[in-house]
Copies of this chain bind each other. A is one copy, B any other.
Amino acid sequence: MADFPSPMGTASVTADLVVLTVQDNELRVLLVRRGIEPHRGAWALPGGFVLADEDLDAAAVRELREETGLTAPVGHLEQLASYGAPGRDPRGRVVTVAYLALLPHLPAPVAGSDAEGAAWVALPVGELAFDHARILADGVERARAKLEYSPLATAFCPPEFTITELREVYETVWDARLDPRNFHRKVTSTPGFVEPVGRSVAADRGRPAQLFRRGPTHLLHPPMLRPTP
């Protein structure tokens, strides 16, 4: 690491969020409509500046809470990547540390103080402010890849879910169809992926399905295979 004084004056640092959820068999992202310039009126990823005495992860957690009203620790949050091209923000040098959040479907989002509104927008979305389209694409790609070798699909589900609900998450995020019988075998035979609750729940039609919780495993061995188109 070099030393002061810095050749690059200084930069502002923001934590922006790619918050994904699955609703109505659609992959949706939380977007806010910008209330101020630049890009006033355009859709953008939620986020904000990192505070002076705040860690990057803490800033992401705070932003997520502010935008979704989340209090309990549900879903999943991880650092995605950082973006700092010189011209990406017309106001000056801004380095953005992007985070990826996977959540079960929640009530209507809350608009932040600097936004005119917030909404869950189904993918693919249209134009976004700044380089947020690229950040979103990176987040979606990360999420798609992580479903293969991690049990993170359960982050899209409520605390108790059926195998079919979990399969619909995979089918939605991957935009593919999975065989219900093979999927059921795979999920229930992978140790630590899901644990049976013991109760069942009846849908509108068909045989009632068993309820499951997410298991203790953080890595799938062997991974869930994405069908080859």
A residues adjacent to B (C-beta < 8 A):
1-4, 6-14, 16, 34, 36, 44-56, 79, 81-86, 91-93, 95-97, 112, 114, 129-130, 223
Contacts and interface: CB of A to CB of B under 8 A. Distances in A.
A85 B9 CA distance: 20
Contacts of A14: 1-2
A8 to B, nearest CB: 5
22 contacts: A1-B34, A1-B48, A1-B130, A2-B49, A2-B114, A4-B12, A6-B12, A7-B52, A8-B12, A8-B49, A8-B52, A10-B11, A10-B12, A11-B95, A13-B84, A52-B93, A53-B86, A55-B84, A56-B83, A79-B81, A79-B82, A223-B223
A81 to B, nearest CB: 6
B11 A49 contact: no
Given A1-B44, A2-B47, A47-B1, A86 B11 contact: no
A8 B55 CA distance: 11
B4 A13 contact: no
